[in-house]
Amino acid sequence: MIIIRKSQDRGHVQHGWLDSYHSFSFADYHDPQWMGFRSLRVINEDRVAPAQGFGSHPHRDMEIITYVLSGQLKHKDSMGNEGIINPGEVQKMSAGTGVVHSEFNASSKKEVHLLQIWITPNAKNLKPAYEQNLLPVDQKDSLIEFPVKIHQDAKIFRGRLSKGHELDFRVGKDRGAWIQMISGSVSANVNILKAGDAAAVERETSLQFKSSSESEFLLFDLK
């Protein structure tokens, strides 16, 4: 079973400095049909105006993953981590017993475009932790797993496909998958997905992807 979540059906907020689309209920956007998917709790697609961002605020008991698509994001947290997240880089912060952090657009001229992802961990009160890694720049026609440790039986893959190319993914027994399109257009078991679209996958044994253009997407493999 594959349920399509169209881009235009997501929650949307426009705060002037922040243009954000919510795949699941978040902040003032509430949809009881879309509270999350398995351990996946948040996928926000954010565009942050130059020199703007999220001031210091706390989190706990959540795996927070940020994937920068374009621009640069400046990060600072109470663990002592500070730096820039560049396009193609993945940042993971295990909030655990508690972390305070801020995220700002590092540029005074260009917006930053990113995906923020929250996954519910498999235990509470974990020790806070931080990772930041670059995905291969030359990835082509393949899936590659995010190189970060997640405290949950969950994996995140980035898929990139050239026009007309295909790839297969086997869905394990009793597992589900979430597909989040970033750019381009692909079919997933003949379901057409375009930029911003998503799909919740249950009780399928495999997924066959075929692109009709240069495409990028995330694939979540979830217990």
Burial, 203: exposed, middle or buried (Cβ in 10 Å; 0-12, 13-18, 19+)? exposed
Q: What is the pLDDT of residue 30?
A: 97
Q: What is the pLDDT of residue 202?
A: 97
Alpha carbons 154 and 33: distance in angstroms, whole number = 22
Q: Report the predicted TM-score, pTM, of the whole model to 2 decimal places.
A: 0.96
Q: What is the pLDDT of residue 32?
A: 97
Residue 16's nearest CA partner among 48, 46, 45, 56 is: 48
Q: What is the pLDDT of residue 81?
A: 97
51, 104 Cβ separation under 8 angstroms:
yes
What are φ and ψ of residue 70, in 5° steps? -155, 155
HSE, CB side, 13 Å, CA atoms: give it for residue 116: 18
Per-residue pLDDT of the chain (223 residues; tens, 9 = 90+): 999 999 999 999 999 999 999 999 999 999 999 999 999 999 999 999 999 999 999 999 999 999 999 999 999 999 999 999 999 999 999 999 999 999 999 999 999 999 999 999 999 999 999 999 999 999 999 999 999 999 999 999 999 999 999 999 999 999 999 999 999 999 999 999 999 999 999 999 999 999 999 999 999 999 9
One-letter amino acid identity for 166?
A: E
Contacts of 217 (CB under 8 A, 6+ apart): 158, 159, 179, 180, 181, 182, 186, 193
In the 8-state DSSP scheme, what is residue 164? T
One-letter amino acid identity for 200?
A: A
Burial, 108: exposed, middle or buried (Cβ in 10 Å; 0-12, 13-18, 19+)? exposed
Q: What is the pLDDT of residue 150?
A: 98
181, 193 Cβ separation under 8 angstroms:
yes
